């Protein structure tokens, strides 16, 4: 499976939310029972420093709705206010109970600066 490409914009000091659904070719949800998920933002694909990481082990960051094939991402304003305005990259991976890792989504992450503090 080739991952989807979706560019996102994160505003410094604001909460970011994204809802997505993983569906098969028949447009039916792919069950995510006992899956885990992780997302990272880095300055570039080769960068060793992680600017921000989200994980489904923290249900405030990534929520998985197992039977609906739905994943909700949340980056709290406390996290976004520490990001430096830039254009970075991100990807979102899910891991099955059998340990199969699948990259669902990737793209550019534009981080816009905050004016009101």
What are the residue boundaries of the structural domains of the chain, listed by start? 4-112
CA atoms within 13 A on the CB side of 25: 2
Q: Distance (Å, rounded) from C-alpha 88 to C-alpha 106?
A: 11
What is the reported pLDDT for 15? 97
What is the reported pLDDT for 117? 77
pLDDT tens-digit map of 21-65? 999 999 999 999 999 999 999 999 999 999 999 999 998 999 999
**70 band by pLDDT with thresholds 50, 70 and 90:** very high
What is the reported pLDDT for 5? 96
What is the reported pLDDT for 2? 83
Fold of 4-112: Immunoglobulin-like (2.60.40)
What is the reported pLDDT for 16? 98
Is the confidence at residue 1, as pLDDT, over 90? no
Q: By three-state DSSP, how is residue 77 classified?
A: helix
Phi, psi dihedrals of residue 11, rounded to the nearest 5°: -95, 125
């Amino acid at each position: 499976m080739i991952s989807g490409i979706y560019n996102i914009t994160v505003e410094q000091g604001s909460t970011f939310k994204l809802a997505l659904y993983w569906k098969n070719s028949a447009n039916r949800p792919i069950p995510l029972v006992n899956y885990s998920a992780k997302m990272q933002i880095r300055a570039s694909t080769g960068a060793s420093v992680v600017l921000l990481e989200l994980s489904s082990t923290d249900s405030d960051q990534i929520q998985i709705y197992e039977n609906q094939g739905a994943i909700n991402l949340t980056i709290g304003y406390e996290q976004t206010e520490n990001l430096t305005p830039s254009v970075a990259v991100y990807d979102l991976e899910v891991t099955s109970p059998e340990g199969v890792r699948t990259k669902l989504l990737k793209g550019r992450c534009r981080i816009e600066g905050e004016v009101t503090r």
